[in-house]
Amino acid sequence: MNNEPKTLLPVEEAIARLLAMAEATQITERQRVSLADAEGRVLAVDLVSTLDLPPWPNSAMDGYALRQADWTGEPLTVSQRIFAGQAPEPLAPGTCARIFTGAPMPEGADCVEMQENADVQADQRVRF
């Protein structure tokens, strides 16, 4: 296992790159096409959903859900495993939860650390 932390693109830089690409795309005309024919095209107007799907915060990756304030460099106890479709228990202070892609975030968790950055220890604890 590679224990080197993965470097992610900062949100601000990702947004700047996307905006630069969008600004470089010139919309010269509008056409109404079927959904089947829309692949590879750019919307001429904003499309906004009337509801949130899923209707709760969820994990976008496999990893460990935790409170950022509990992240001191010391190992955290894994208090539960959360799969997609499962209702999690609230996160106890000083613990983390093993979480899988699409699973609902437990109450009290405010971040997810990627599993690739986790050092799982024999005593059901994990260090990031």
Tens of pLDDT, residue by residue, the chain (128 residues): 566 667 788 999 999 999 998 888 777 788 999 999 999 888 888 889 999 888 899 999 999 999 999 999 999 999 999 999 999 999 999 999 999 999 999 999 999 999 999 999 989 999 99
What does the block give as tokens for 105? 């975030």
Cα dist. 109→38, 57, 71, 106, 120 in Å?
Answer: 38, 10, 11, 6, 19
State pLDDT tens for residues 5-14.
677 889 999 9
Q: Where are the domains of the chain?
A: 63-127
Listed residue (128, 127, 116) closest to 8, CA to CA = 116
Q: Other C-beta atoms within 10 Å of 104: how many?
A: 21
- 3 state SS of 24: helix
State pLDDT tens for residues 28-47.
788 999 999 999 888 888 88
Listed residue (56, 87, 75) closest to 113, CA to CA = 75
- Whether pTM > 0.95 for this model: the answer is no
Q: What is the fold, at CATH topology level, of the domain defined by 63-127?
A: Molybdopterin biosynthesis moeA protein; domain 3 (2.170.190)
Residue found by looking up tokens 């010269």 in the block: 28
